[in-house]
Structure 1
């Protein structure tokens, strides 16, 4: 049973056709590399899945149950989490505070309530351990490497025990060593049975972790196939239009 199925998804912004009849599915624990040139429709598609946009036509199903997302909170309730390219982290806060941002546990003392930092540190440490990251709960985010920042953003998604995590360009503008860390984090999610949609322009990164490749061109799905049955050369041809479909 697919974890996520999208069927006949189209999206219009006035006269602009951003997506046209896109159908795609992803299995539990599968890593799907979503590729395409700028303006191909990748961001529109993931924003529909994340509940930011509603499709003009088409359906979304989670575990074979049809769902309708009117806002991002609806998608989160169904187990969909998004890690945006800017990560949306607060540099002046600790790793633990970022993991729990907006969801801080409280302790009560009579009529008073205060944030339970010890619980936040304990749970965050366990999440980082599960991800096999060296990130420490009390460290300030402003002092962290790109790989550690990604670990904080991913740990935040794990608080809600997600079914699907979508990642937008997670390996952009970081060092080779940090890229390796982030790819390992993606493998950890997959090992836990979490489906991952990886949006990236970096072909080697996608092929090193993805089970399947999907390519969008001008709002249309032109490829969805196993990564080991494709190649960077074929994907490049599909993105540019040198190859019509695969």
Structure 2
């Protein structure tokens, strides 16, 4: 393997609205190496790669390619410097209506004023040669929209080779692939490595990192905390660096009596995103389902709320099987969802706080189809006080509240409704520490009232703090279960990263 540095990022700093996202980050990628970039959710990996690929402009620091300083202010600057990306959302980088050859030779074709003067037979031949170099046999006259996701990835990588790529960023490229497709992608990455190209590999699956990567850099809280040769490290060590701090008892758990089973889920399945999931939740119990981004947590919450249709499995509430063909059915059955994307799915941003808080109970505060304004105002004032929602008035538009207060509205609207099961999908995403404390208190109060709580999160520390039981999800399956006090962050992250099934 060559030891010359292909890429050097030094003292990279980036802030958003005065909040540091990257602090003095260094990253060196050698020519002909596969370099893993790891970190827990929110560690700064994506921000660093967006700076490198020109999506964000750095505040300070320097980037060198082949020893030459390069100014990257746009994606075009990055490509001109030989920096390319292979994202999960592969379709955004390809033109589906064009052929494989046209996609591979896109730069060459677009630089010609007329396609009449192009030698199509030689372009097809060149495309075939580039694909053959990657060990891929894809018909080059076929339209890209007819290809599988894995084939599309190979077409994009073939294009990078024709554009003289020097550094290729692979951002969670194996997440949507089968094991066989992932193996083929790794063979391609090793081919790029042997051609002297530097590969940056972002993944939450630690076993594949240790099988394929030469070195590992770990980020935490916007800083680089470790760079090591893979052979000199272990999964346990990497997990320790990714997590950093042990859990701080910032948010004391409110103890609640646990009663009879309220929610029973058996064999719930939808495609490859939720696979044969079974669990139960008792009255007063908080069950956390933890996993990395893409593990299937959100998809599971949508199935349980009837937002997506299951392919197999049953769901019972208080012993009665429920038909989950739409959210209205779930609500009638006593299931409520506080979704991850609150601005898109949890609240009506253009409506007032008062109107949002009354949405699930409009039938209760209406007579003969007419809404009682006084009942709506009373409901809003009670919930605003109970939840500590900071708004100028109940009539303020919800879009002007902070993230934490929007989340309180998203939760609060369900409190007067006749709900037995609360599903919380990443409820503390994008909220400050004070609002986080309030949200934990609200959830604790609901458990105290005998509600069954399903808390879906990629924040393992939150699950350890709030849950009576923790289930671990990986690639659409539940792969481990732990009673309160029996799990460590290391165990959870190991399982969520593709480790073996364990029951605590």
> TM-score if structure 2 supplies the norm length?
0.45
Q: What are the within-5 Å matches in structure 2 for residues 124-203 of structure 1?
A: 124-203=127-206
Q: Distance in 1 between matches of 2:145 and 2:69?
A: 41
Partner of 1:30: 33
Would the aligned equivalents of 1:135 and 1:151 in 2 still touch at CA under 8 Å? Answer: no
Partner of 2:20: 17
Count the aligned residue pairs: 241
Would the aligned equivalents of 2:23 and 2:222 in 1 still touch at CA under 8 Å? Answer: yes
Question: 1:187-226: per-residue Cα shift (whole Å, max 9, x none)?
Answer: 0100100010111112122222110001111111111101
Tell me whether 1:3 sits opposite 2:6 in the alignment.
Answer: yes
Partner of 2:244: 241
RMSD: 2.1
User: Which residue, 215, 220, 224 being the options, matches 2:218?
Assistant: 215
Shift of 1:106: 7.9
User: Which residue, 97, 104, 115 being the options, matches 2:102?
Assistant: 97
More relative contact order, 1 or 2 (CA 8 Å, 6+ apart): 1
Q: Distance in 2 between matches of 1:35 and 1:106?
A: 37
Shift of 1:107: 7.8
State the SS of the aligned residue for 1:39. Answer: coil
Would the aligned equivalents of 2:84 and 2:160 in 1 still touch at CA under 8 Å? Answer: yes
Tell me whether 1:42 sits opposite 2:13 in the alignment.
Answer: no
Q: What are the within-5 Å matches in structure 2 for residues 110-125 of structure 1?
A: 113=116, 115-125=118-128
State the SS of the aligned residue for 1:104. Answer: helix
State the SS of the aligned residue for 1:215. Answer: strand
Would the aligned equivalents of 2:131 and 2:137 in 1 still touch at CA under 8 Å? Answer: yes
Long gaps (5+) in structure 1: none
State the SS of the aligned residue for 1:3. Answer: strand
Residues 199 and 106 of structure 1: CA distance in aligned 2, closer, same or farther (over 3 Å): closer
Tell me whether 1:64 sits opposite 2:67 in the alignment.
Answer: yes
Q: Distance in 2 between matches of 1:220 and 1:37?
A: 12
Partner of 2:449: none
Q: Distance in 1 between matches of 2:232 and 2:18?
A: 37
Q: Distance in 2 between matches of 1:39 and 1:120?
A: 43
Would the aligned equivalents of 2:109 and 2:115 in 1 still touch at CA under 8 Å? Answer: no
Residues 23 and 112 of structure 1: CA distance in aligned 2, closer, same or farther (over 3 Å): closer
Would the aligned equivalents of 2:88 and 2:176 in 1 still touch at CA under 8 Å? Answer: no
Q: Distance in 1 between matches of 2:87 and 2:173?
A: 8
Q: Distance in 1 between matches of 2:38 and 2:78?
A: 22
Q: Distance in 2 between matches of 1:55 and 1:29?
A: 26
Would the aligned equivalents of 2:144 and 2:152 in 1 still touch at CA under 8 Å? Answer: yes
Would the aligned equivalents of 1:106 and 1:113 in 2 still touch at CA under 8 Å? Answer: no
Question: 1:115-150: per-residue Cα shift (whole Å, max 9, x none)?
Answer: 543233111101101111122212232332332221
Residues 93 and 241 of structure 1: CA distance in aligned 2, closer, same or farther (over 3 Å): same
Q: Distance in 1 between matches of 2:193 and 2:131?
A: 15
Would the aligned equivalents of 1:32 and 1:196 in 2 still touch at CA under 8 Å? Answer: yes
Shift of 1:162: 1.3
Q: Distance in 2 between matches of 1:112 and 1:150?
A: 26
Would the aligned equivalents of 1:104 and 1:120 in 2 still touch at CA under 8 Å? Answer: no
Q: Distance in 1 between matches of 2:134 and 2:55?
A: 28
> TM-score if structure 1 supplies the norm length?
0.90
